[in-house]
Structure 1
Amino acid sequence: MSGWNLVIPVRGGAGKSRLEVPDVDRAGLARAIGLDTIAAARACRVVAQVVVVTADAQIARAIEDDCLIVADPGTGLNDAVRAGLAVTDAAQPRAAMLGDLPALRATDLETVLVAAARYESAALPDAEGTGTTLITRTVAGELVPAFGEDSFTRHRAAGFLDLAREIEAGRQQRGAWSARRDVDTLDQLHEAAQLGLGIRTAALLEGRSRQGAASSVA
Protein backbone atom coordinates (compact mmCIF):
# COMPACT_ATOMS: atom_id res chain seq x y z
CA MET A 1 0.00 0.00 0.00
CA SER A 2 1.52 3.31 -1.11
CA GLY A 3 -0.47 5.53 1.25
CA TRP A 4 -3.97 6.83 1.78
CA ASN A 5 -5.83 9.37 -0.32
CA LEU A 6 -7.73 11.34 2.31
CA VAL A 7 -10.71 13.57 1.51
CA ILE A 8 -11.62 16.30 4.00
CA PRO A 9 -14.69 18.51 3.49
CA VAL A 10 -14.24 21.90 5.18
CA ARG A 11 -16.96 24.54 5.32
CA GLY A 12 -14.62 27.11 6.79
CA GLY A 13 -16.08 30.61 6.95
CA ALA A 14 -19.60 29.29 6.71
CA GLY A 15 -19.12 28.48 10.38
CA LYS A 16 -21.06 26.15 12.63
CA SER A 17 -24.52 27.20 13.72
CA ARG A 18 -24.29 25.46 17.12
CA LEU A 19 -20.75 26.55 17.99
CA GLU A 20 -20.87 29.96 19.63
CA VAL A 21 -17.85 31.10 21.63
CA PRO A 22 -18.16 34.51 23.31
CA ASP A 23 -15.84 37.14 21.80
CA VAL A 24 -14.61 34.79 19.07
CA ASP A 25 -15.50 35.26 15.41
CA ARG A 26 -17.48 32.21 14.30
CA ALA A 27 -16.03 32.18 10.78
CA GLY A 28 -12.49 32.58 12.07
CA LEU A 29 -12.95 29.74 14.53
CA ALA A 30 -14.36 27.44 11.85
CA ARG A 31 -11.38 28.21 9.59
CA ALA A 32 -8.91 27.57 12.41
CA ILE A 33 -10.51 24.22 13.22
CA GLY A 34 -10.48 23.22 9.56
CA LEU A 35 -6.87 24.23 9.03
CA ASP A 36 -5.72 22.41 12.17
CA THR A 37 -7.49 19.27 10.97
CA ILE A 38 -5.84 19.55 7.56
CA ALA A 39 -2.40 20.17 9.11
CA ALA A 40 -2.64 16.99 11.19
CA ALA A 41 -3.68 15.01 8.11
CA ARG A 42 -0.78 16.42 6.10
CA ALA A 43 1.65 15.42 8.86
CA CYS A 44 0.38 11.84 9.03
CA ARG A 45 3.01 9.44 7.69
CA VAL A 46 0.56 7.05 6.04
CA VAL A 47 -1.35 9.74 4.12
CA ALA A 48 -0.11 10.15 0.56
CA GLN A 49 -2.49 12.89 -0.56
CA VAL A 50 -4.99 15.21 1.11
CA VAL A 51 -7.96 16.36 -0.95
CA VAL A 52 -9.79 19.31 0.60
CA VAL A 53 -13.32 20.12 -0.56
CA THR A 54 -14.19 23.70 0.28
CA ALA A 55 -15.84 26.88 -0.93
CA ASP A 56 -13.76 29.03 1.42
CA ALA A 57 -11.20 31.07 -0.52
CA GLN A 58 -9.09 31.80 2.57
CA ILE A 59 -8.69 28.13 3.36
CA ALA A 60 -7.93 27.33 -0.27
CA ARG A 61 -5.16 29.96 -0.37
CA ALA A 62 -3.66 28.69 2.88
CA ILE A 63 -3.32 25.09 1.67
CA GLU A 64 -2.91 25.44 -2.10
CA ASP A 65 0.73 24.32 -2.03
CA ASP A 66 0.09 21.23 0.09
CA CYS A 67 -3.31 19.82 -0.85
CA LEU A 68 -5.48 19.12 -3.86
CA ILE A 69 -8.43 21.50 -3.66
CA VAL A 70 -11.89 20.66 -4.99
CA ALA A 71 -14.77 23.12 -5.11
CA ASP A 72 -17.59 22.31 -2.71
CA PRO A 73 -20.75 21.74 -4.79
CA GLY A 74 -22.80 23.33 -2.01
CA THR A 75 -25.39 20.57 -1.80
CA GLY A 76 -24.47 19.03 1.53
CA LEU A 77 -21.72 17.17 3.35
CA ASN A 78 -22.05 13.84 1.58
CA ASP A 79 -22.04 15.47 -1.86
CA ALA A 80 -18.88 17.35 -0.84
CA VAL A 81 -17.25 14.06 0.13
CA ARG A 82 -18.30 12.48 -3.17
CA ALA A 83 -16.79 15.42 -5.08
CA GLY A 84 -13.48 14.85 -3.33
CA LEU A 85 -13.52 11.11 -3.82
CA ALA A 86 -14.20 11.61 -7.52
CA VAL A 87 -10.67 12.97 -8.04
CA THR A 88 -8.93 10.15 -6.16
CA ASP A 89 -7.60 6.90 -7.58
CA ALA A 90 -10.13 4.15 -6.87
CA ALA A 91 -7.33 1.59 -7.01
CA GLN A 92 -5.62 3.18 -4.00
CA PRO A 93 -6.75 3.16 -0.35
CA ARG A 94 -9.20 6.02 0.20
CA ALA A 95 -10.64 7.67 3.26
CA ALA A 96 -12.99 10.54 4.00
CA MET A 97 -12.74 12.43 7.28
CA LEU A 98 -14.67 15.29 8.81
CA GLY A 99 -12.92 18.66 8.87
CA ASP A 100 -13.85 19.60 12.44
CA LEU A 101 -11.29 17.71 14.51
CA PRO A 102 -9.25 20.51 16.14
CA ALA A 103 -7.44 18.17 18.56
CA LEU A 104 -6.44 15.65 15.88
CA ARG A 105 -2.88 14.38 16.14
CA ALA A 106 -1.05 12.95 13.15
CA THR A 107 0.05 9.93 15.18
CA ASP A 108 -3.52 9.21 16.22
CA LEU A 109 -4.71 9.38 12.62
CA GLU A 110 -1.90 7.01 11.71
CA THR A 111 -3.11 4.54 14.35
CA VAL A 112 -6.61 4.66 12.89
CA LEU A 113 -5.51 4.26 9.28
CA VAL A 114 -3.07 1.45 10.05
CA ALA A 115 -5.93 -0.42 11.72
CA ALA A 116 -8.24 0.34 8.78
CA ALA A 117 -5.70 -0.98 6.27
CA ARG A 118 -6.53 -4.54 7.29
CA TYR A 119 -10.15 -4.31 6.18
CA GLU A 120 -12.07 -3.64 2.99
CA SER A 121 -14.14 -0.86 4.53
CA ALA A 122 -14.30 0.62 8.00
CA ALA A 123 -15.80 3.54 9.92
CA LEU A 124 -14.71 5.40 13.05
CA PRO A 125 -17.50 6.56 15.38
CA ASP A 126 -17.39 9.99 16.96
CA ALA A 127 -16.81 10.43 20.69
CA GLU A 128 -20.51 9.95 21.42
CA GLY A 129 -20.61 6.76 19.36
CA THR A 130 -23.54 7.91 17.22
CA GLY A 131 -21.93 9.92 14.44
CA THR A 132 -18.97 9.07 12.21
CA THR A 133 -15.72 11.00 11.82
CA LEU A 134 -13.95 8.84 9.22
CA ILE A 135 -14.70 6.11 6.67
CA THR A 136 -12.23 4.05 4.67
CA ARG A 137 -11.98 1.64 1.76
CA THR A 138 -8.88 -0.31 0.76
CA VAL A 139 -10.09 -2.07 -2.39
CA ALA A 140 -11.41 -0.84 -5.71
CA GLY A 141 -15.03 0.19 -5.72
CA GLU A 142 -17.19 3.01 -4.48
CA LEU A 143 -16.72 4.49 -1.03
CA VAL A 144 -20.23 5.63 -0.11
CA PRO A 145 -20.51 8.32 2.59
CA ALA A 146 -23.53 8.55 4.88
CA PHE A 147 -22.39 11.30 7.23
CA GLY A 148 -24.86 13.25 9.32
CA GLU A 149 -26.88 12.71 12.48
CA ASP A 150 -26.70 9.10 13.74
CA SER A 151 -24.52 8.21 10.76
CA PHE A 152 -22.59 5.44 12.47
CA THR A 153 -25.63 3.17 12.45
CA ARG A 154 -26.01 3.74 8.70
CA HIS A 155 -22.35 3.06 8.01
CA ARG A 156 -22.43 -0.14 10.06
CA ALA A 157 -25.59 -1.27 8.25
CA ALA A 158 -23.76 -0.70 4.96
CA GLY A 159 -21.05 -3.13 6.04
CA PHE A 160 -18.37 -0.83 7.47
CA LEU A 161 -16.26 -2.38 10.24
CA ASP A 162 -16.31 -0.63 13.64
CA LEU A 163 -12.79 0.80 13.84
CA ALA A 164 -13.10 1.92 17.44
CA ARG A 165 -13.77 -1.63 18.57
CA GLU A 166 -10.83 -2.88 16.52
CA ILE A 167 -8.46 -0.32 17.98
CA GLU A 168 -9.67 -0.94 21.52
CA ALA A 169 -9.05 -4.65 21.03
CA GLY A 170 -5.44 -3.72 20.35
CA ARG A 171 -5.31 -1.66 23.56
CA GLN A 172 -4.73 1.56 21.68
CA GLN A 173 -7.85 3.40 22.84
CA ARG A 174 -6.17 6.77 23.26
CA GLY A 175 -4.68 6.46 19.81
CA ALA A 176 -8.10 6.93 18.27
CA TRP A 177 -9.61 9.45 20.63
CA SER A 178 -8.48 12.73 19.04
CA ALA A 179 -9.77 11.40 15.71
CA ARG A 180 -13.19 10.85 17.31
CA ARG A 181 -13.66 14.24 18.99
CA ASP A 182 -15.38 16.31 16.33
CA VAL A 183 -16.67 19.69 17.42
CA ASP A 184 -20.13 21.13 16.85
CA THR A 185 -20.86 22.64 20.27
CA LEU A 186 -19.06 24.59 22.98
CA ASP A 187 -19.02 21.56 25.30
CA GLN A 188 -17.37 19.48 22.59
CA LEU A 189 -14.80 22.24 22.04
CA HIS A 190 -13.99 22.11 25.76
CA GLU A 191 -13.51 18.34 25.49
CA ALA A 192 -11.21 18.82 22.50
CA ALA A 193 -9.22 21.36 24.48
CA GLN A 194 -8.57 18.70 27.13
CA LEU A 195 -6.95 16.58 24.42
CA GLY A 196 -4.87 19.49 23.14
CA LEU A 197 -6.01 21.84 20.38
CA GLY A 198 -4.16 22.51 17.15
CA ILE A 199 -2.05 25.67 17.01
CA ARG A 200 -4.54 27.84 15.11
CA THR A 201 -7.56 27.00 17.23
CA ALA A 202 -5.55 27.31 20.42
CA ALA A 203 -4.11 30.68 19.39
CA LEU A 204 -7.55 32.04 18.57
CA LEU A 205 -9.00 30.98 21.90
CA GLU A 206 -5.94 32.15 23.84
CA GLY A 207 -6.25 35.54 22.18
CA ARG A 208 -9.85 35.72 23.35
CA SER A 209 -8.78 34.77 26.88
CA ARG A 210 -6.10 37.47 26.94
CA GLN A 211 -8.60 40.02 25.68
CA GLY A 212 -11.06 39.02 28.38
CA ALA A 213 -8.40 39.28 31.06
CA ALA A 214 -7.36 42.74 29.85
CA SER A 215 -10.97 43.90 29.88
CA SER A 216 -11.49 42.68 33.43
CA VAL A 217 -8.36 44.53 34.61
CA ALA A 218 -9.48 47.70 32.86
Structure 2
Amino acid sequence: MTAYAAVVLSGGAARRMGGVDKPARPVGGRPMLHRVLAAVADAGERIVVGPAGPVPEGVRVTREEPPGGGPVAGTAAGLALLDPGTSTVALLAADLPLLTPAAVAELRSALDGSAAGVACYVDDGGRRQQLCAVWRVSALRAALDRLAAQRGGTVDGAPVRGLLAGTTVREVSWSGSGPPPWFDCDTDEDVRRAEEWTR
Protein backbone atom coordinates (compact mmCIF):
# COMPACT_ATOMS: atom_id res chain seq x y z
CA MET A 1 0.00 0.00 0.00
CA THR A 2 1.12 3.54 -0.70
CA ALA A 3 1.85 6.12 2.01
CA TYR A 4 -1.11 8.04 3.36
CA ALA A 5 -1.99 10.98 5.57
CA ALA A 6 -4.48 11.24 8.42
CA VAL A 7 -6.86 14.08 9.30
CA VAL A 8 -8.46 13.77 12.74
CA LEU A 9 -11.46 15.96 13.52
CA SER A 10 -11.62 17.09 17.15
CA GLY A 11 -13.84 20.16 16.96
CA GLY A 12 -17.20 18.80 18.16
CA ALA A 13 -19.18 20.57 20.87
CA ALA A 14 -19.75 17.39 22.97
CA ARG A 15 -23.23 18.62 23.96
CA ARG A 16 -24.27 15.20 25.26
CA MET A 17 -21.31 15.28 27.64
CA GLY A 18 -22.00 18.78 28.89
CA GLY A 19 -19.51 20.47 26.56
CA VAL A 20 -16.37 18.82 27.98
CA ASP A 21 -13.21 18.43 25.91
CA LYS A 22 -14.32 15.03 24.64
CA PRO A 23 -11.16 14.03 22.72
CA ALA A 24 -9.18 14.59 25.93
CA ARG A 25 -11.36 12.15 27.89
CA PRO A 26 -9.22 9.14 28.81
CA VAL A 27 -10.09 5.61 27.77
CA GLY A 28 -7.75 2.88 28.95
CA GLY A 29 -5.53 5.54 30.52
CA ARG A 30 -4.99 7.59 27.35
CA PRO A 31 -6.97 10.49 25.83
CA MET A 32 -9.23 9.35 23.01
CA LEU A 33 -7.47 11.72 20.58
CA HIS A 34 -4.10 10.14 21.39
CA ARG A 35 -5.54 6.66 20.86
CA VAL A 36 -6.74 7.69 17.39
CA LEU A 37 -3.38 9.25 16.57
CA ALA A 38 -1.64 6.04 17.67
CA ALA A 39 -3.82 4.04 15.25
CA VAL A 40 -2.40 6.15 12.38
CA ALA A 41 1.17 6.37 13.70
CA ASP A 42 2.43 5.07 10.33
CA ALA A 43 0.84 7.93 8.38
CA GLY A 44 3.23 10.25 6.59
CA GLU A 45 1.34 13.27 7.94
CA ARG A 46 -1.00 13.56 10.91
CA ILE A 47 -3.20 16.63 11.22
CA VAL A 48 -5.64 17.41 14.02
CA VAL A 49 -8.39 19.90 13.26
CA GLY A 50 -9.89 21.64 16.29
CA PRO A 51 -8.85 22.19 19.89
CA ALA A 52 -6.22 19.56 20.66
CA GLY A 53 -4.16 20.37 23.74
CA PRO A 54 -0.72 18.71 23.75
CA VAL A 55 -0.17 16.36 20.80
CA PRO A 56 2.63 13.93 19.93
CA GLU A 57 5.68 15.29 18.14
CA GLY A 58 5.16 15.75 14.42
CA VAL A 59 1.37 16.14 14.63
CA ARG A 60 0.14 19.43 13.19
CA VAL A 61 -2.90 21.26 14.56
CA THR A 62 -5.21 23.65 12.70
CA ARG A 63 -8.73 25.05 13.06
CA GLU A 64 -11.72 24.96 10.77
CA GLU A 65 -13.01 28.24 9.36
CA PRO A 66 -15.11 29.49 10.99
CA PRO A 67 -14.30 27.76 14.33
CA GLY A 68 -17.22 25.49 15.13
CA GLY A 69 -18.09 25.26 11.43
CA GLY A 70 -18.55 21.51 11.64
CA PRO A 71 -16.81 18.40 10.38
CA VAL A 72 -16.92 19.27 6.67
CA ALA A 73 -15.31 22.65 7.33
CA GLY A 74 -12.78 20.78 9.48
CA THR A 75 -12.12 18.36 6.63
CA ALA A 76 -11.41 21.27 4.28
CA ALA A 77 -9.00 22.82 6.80
CA GLY A 78 -7.12 19.56 7.25
CA LEU A 79 -6.93 18.91 3.53
CA ALA A 80 -5.44 22.37 2.98
CA LEU A 81 -2.34 21.35 4.98
CA LEU A 82 -1.61 18.12 3.09
CA ASP A 83 1.53 17.85 1.01
CA PRO A 84 0.63 18.23 -2.70
CA GLY A 85 1.76 14.68 -3.52
CA THR A 86 -0.50 12.98 -0.95
CA SER A 87 -2.88 10.58 -2.70
CA THR A 88 -4.86 9.03 0.17
CA VAL A 89 -6.04 10.33 3.52
CA ALA A 90 -7.72 8.72 6.51
CA LEU A 91 -10.58 10.95 7.69
CA LEU A 92 -11.34 10.16 11.32
CA ALA A 93 -13.27 11.44 14.29
CA ALA A 94 -11.23 12.10 17.44
CA ASP A 95 -13.61 10.05 19.62
CA LEU A 96 -12.84 6.57 18.24
CA PRO A 97 -10.88 5.09 21.16
CA LEU A 98 -11.12 1.53 19.81
CA LEU A 99 -9.60 2.31 16.42
CA THR A 100 -6.54 0.17 15.65
CA PRO A 101 -3.78 0.20 13.04
CA ALA A 102 -5.23 -3.05 11.66
CA ALA A 103 -8.63 -1.42 11.15
CA VAL A 104 -7.08 1.52 9.27
CA ALA A 105 -4.99 -0.88 7.18
CA GLU A 106 -8.13 -2.80 6.23
CA LEU A 107 -9.74 0.39 4.92
CA ARG A 108 -6.61 1.33 3.01
CA SER A 109 -6.42 -2.12 1.45
CA ALA A 110 -10.11 -2.00 0.47
CA LEU A 111 -9.60 1.36 -1.24
CA ASP A 112 -6.42 0.23 -3.01
CA GLY A 113 -8.28 -2.75 -4.44
CA SER A 114 -11.20 -0.75 -5.85
CA ALA A 115 -12.11 2.11 -8.15
CA ALA A 116 -13.99 3.86 -5.34
CA GLY A 117 -13.22 7.35 -4.08
CA VAL A 118 -13.63 6.35 -0.42
CA ALA A 119 -13.67 3.22 1.73
CA CYS A 120 -15.62 3.38 4.97
CA TYR A 121 -16.88 0.93 7.54
CA VAL A 122 -20.54 0.01 7.75
CA ASP A 123 -22.06 -1.22 10.98
CA ASP A 124 -24.33 -4.23 11.41
CA GLY A 125 -27.33 -2.06 10.54
CA GLY A 126 -25.78 -1.02 7.23
CA ARG A 127 -25.04 2.53 8.39
CA ARG A 128 -21.94 4.10 6.89
CA GLN A 129 -19.38 5.23 9.46
CA GLN A 130 -18.43 8.38 7.60
CA LEU A 131 -15.71 9.53 9.99
CA CYS A 132 -13.95 6.18 10.00
CA ALA A 133 -12.90 6.23 6.37
CA VAL A 134 -9.99 6.41 3.93
CA TRP A 135 -10.35 8.67 0.89
CA ARG A 136 -8.53 9.29 -2.34
CA VAL A 137 -7.50 12.94 -1.91
CA SER A 138 -8.75 13.80 -5.41
CA ALA A 139 -12.21 12.39 -4.62
CA LEU A 140 -12.38 14.24 -1.30
CA ARG A 141 -11.41 17.54 -2.92
CA ALA A 142 -14.06 16.99 -5.58
CA ALA A 143 -16.67 16.20 -2.91
CA LEU A 144 -15.80 19.39 -0.99
CA ASP A 145 -15.99 21.47 -4.18
CA ARG A 146 -19.36 19.91 -5.05
CA LEU A 147 -20.78 20.62 -1.60
CA ALA A 148 -19.48 24.19 -1.61
CA ALA A 149 -21.07 24.80 -5.03
CA GLN A 150 -24.40 23.50 -3.73
CA ARG A 151 -24.20 25.75 -0.65
CA GLY A 152 -23.27 29.10 -2.14
CA GLY A 153 -19.52 28.69 -1.89
CA THR A 154 -19.24 27.52 1.73
CA VAL A 155 -19.13 24.19 3.55
CA ASP A 156 -19.75 25.78 6.96
CA GLY A 157 -22.36 23.61 8.71
CA ALA A 158 -22.57 21.06 5.89
CA PRO A 159 -23.44 17.46 6.89
CA VAL A 160 -20.73 14.82 6.56
CA ARG A 161 -23.07 12.55 4.60
CA GLY A 162 -23.02 15.23 1.90
CA LEU A 163 -19.40 14.32 1.16
CA LEU A 164 -20.43 10.78 0.23
CA ALA A 165 -23.27 11.90 -2.06
CA GLY A 166 -22.04 11.53 -5.62
CA THR A 167 -18.89 9.64 -4.52
CA THR A 168 -18.34 5.97 -5.26
CA VAL A 169 -18.16 4.31 -1.84
CA ARG A 170 -16.51 1.00 -0.99
CA GLU A 171 -18.36 -0.26 2.07
CA VAL A 172 -16.31 -2.40 4.44
CA SER A 173 -17.65 -4.71 7.13
CA TRP A 174 -15.36 -5.18 10.11
CA SER A 175 -13.91 -8.69 9.92
CA GLY A 176 -11.34 -8.43 12.68
CA SER A 177 -11.57 -9.63 16.23
CA GLY A 178 -12.53 -7.35 19.07
CA PRO A 179 -14.87 -4.37 19.28
CA PRO A 180 -15.90 -2.34 16.22
CA PRO A 181 -13.26 0.26 15.37
CA TRP A 182 -15.90 2.87 14.52
CA PHE A 183 -17.38 2.87 18.04
CA ASP A 184 -17.57 6.55 18.97
CA CYS A 185 -18.09 8.04 22.41
CA ASP A 186 -20.94 10.53 22.43
CA THR A 187 -22.08 9.94 26.02
CA ASP A 188 -20.61 9.03 29.40
CA GLU A 189 -22.12 5.56 28.96
CA ASP A 190 -20.23 5.16 25.67
CA VAL A 191 -16.99 6.00 27.48
CA ARG A 192 -17.76 3.36 30.12
CA ARG A 193 -18.40 0.75 27.42
CA ALA A 194 -15.15 1.63 25.66
CA GLU A 195 -13.29 1.32 28.98
CA GLU A 196 -14.68 -2.19 29.41
CA TRP A 197 -13.54 -3.17 25.93
CA THR A 198 -10.01 -1.94 26.59
CA ARG A 199 -9.54 -3.97 29.78
User: What is the rounded CA distance, in whole Å, between the counterparts of 1:28 and 1:154 in structure 2?
Assistant: 26
C-alpha contact 2:6 2:40 (8 A) present in aligned 1 = no
AA at the equivalent of 2:90: A
Distance 1:3 1:42, change over 3 A: farther
Equivalent residues in 2 for 1:181-192, closer than 5 Å: 181-192=183-194
C-alpha contact 1:112 1:176 (8 A) present in aligned 2 = no
C-alpha contact 2:95 2:184 (8 A) present in aligned 1 = yes
C-alpha contact 1:41 1:47 (8 A) present in aligned 2 = no
C-alpha contact 2:110 2:119 (8 A) present in aligned 1 = no
AA at the equivalent of 2:83: D
State the match for 1:113 in structure 2: 108
Q: In the alignment, does 2:24 pair up with 1:31?
A: yes
Structure 2 regions of 5+ residues with no counterpart? 148-157
Distance 1:53 1:154, change over 3 A: closer
C-alpha contact 2:46 2:60 (8 A) present in aligned 1 = yes
SS at match of 1:100: coil
**Percent of aligned pairs sharing the same letter:** 15
Q: In the alignment, does 2:75 pair up with 1:77?
A: no
SS at match of 2:177: helix
C-alpha contact 2:8 2:91 (8 A) present in aligned 1 = yes
C-alpha contact 2:128 2:171 (8 A) present in aligned 1 = no
State the match for 1:97 in structure 2: 92
Q: State the Cα deviation string for residues 93-126 of structure 1 (Å, max 9, x = none).
A: 1121111112223333333333333234222235
Q: State the Cα deviation string for residues 117-151 of structure 1 (Å, max 9, x = none).
A: 323422223576254232322364444368858x3
AA at the equivalent of 2:194: A
Distance 1:77 1:7, change over 3 A: same
User: Displacement of 1:79 after TM fit?
Assistant: 0.3
AA at the equivalent of 2:64: D
User: Displacement of 1:10 after TM fit?
Assistant: 0.6
C-alpha contact 2:119 2:135 (8 A) present in aligned 1 = yes
- Alignment match of 2:131 (pick from 114, 130, 133): 133
Richer in strand (by share): 2
C-alpha contact 1:127 1:181 (8 A) present in aligned 2 = no
Equivalent residues in 2 for 1:139-178, closer than 5 Å: 140-143=138-141, 144=143, 148=159, 151=161, 155=164, 158-164=167-173, 167=174, 172-174=175-177, 177-178=180-181
C-alpha contact 1:90 1:140 (8 A) present in aligned 2 = no
Structure 1 regions of 5+ residues with no counterpart? 21-25, 198-218
Q: State the Cα deviation string for residues 71-95 of structure 1 (Å, max 9, x = none).
A: 2322111101111011113542112
Q: How big is the alpha-carbon RMSD for the aligned residues of Structure 1 and Structure 2?
A: 3.4
User: Displacement of 1:45 after TM fit?
Assistant: 5.7
State the match for 1:193 in structure 2: 195
- Alignment match of 1:47 (pick from 40, 43, 65): 43
Richer in helix (by share): 1
Distance 1:102 1:140, change over 3 A: same
State the match for 1:123 in structure 2: 120
Count of paired positions: 177
Structure 1 runs of 4+ aligned residues shifted over 4 Å read 145-149
User: Displacement of 1:9 after TM fit?
Assistant: 1.1
C-alpha contact 2:10 2:33 (8 A) present in aligned 1 = no
TM-score (norm 2): 0.69
State the match for 1:19 in structure 2: 17
